[in-house]
């Protein structure tokens, strides 16, 4: 009977955030990059996550217009 074979895409999913945070050790980093180089699905996912992080950083550093703050405040529902 064959042993359980880990799904490389599921493993890549687990490694995605640590990879983007640059906290993987060298072996894990090489493993992640090898998978990204051969798997189009995970590569697209990685590019999306990377661009999302760039977008979030830009949004956080740009001051929010007062008008937008008012609109967002109006959407808040009081907690009961």
50 neighbors 23 (Cβ within 8 angstroms): no
Nearest alpha carbon to residue 17 among 48, 59, 57, 61: 48
Give the rounded distance of the alpha carbon of 59 from its chain centre.
Answer: 16
> Sorting pLDDT into bands at 50, 70 and 90, what band is 78?
low
Quote the pLDDT of residue 7.
87
Scored b (16 or more CB within 10 A) or e, 68-78 reads: eeeeeeeeeee
Angle at 9 between CA 3 and CA 11, to 5 degrees: 70
> Sorting pLDDT into bands at 50, 70 and 90, what band is 36?
very high
Given a cut of 60, is residue 2 above it in pLDDT? no
Q: What is the pLDDT of residues 43-73, one digit of tens each?
A: 999 999 999 998 888 877 778 788 888 887 8
Given a cut of 50, is residue 3 above it in pLDDT? no
Quote the pLDDT of residue 4.
37
């Amino acid at each position: 009977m064959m042993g359980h074979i880990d799904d490389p895409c599921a493993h890549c999913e687990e490694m995605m955030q640590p990879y983007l945070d640059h906290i993987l050790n060298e072996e894990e980093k090489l493993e992640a990059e090898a998978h990204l180089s051969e798997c189009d699905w995970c590569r697209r996912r990685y590019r999306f996550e990377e661009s999302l992080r760039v977008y979030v950083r830009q949004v956080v550093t740009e001051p929010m217009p007062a008008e937008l703050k008012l609109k967002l405040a109006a959407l808040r529902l009081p907690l009961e």
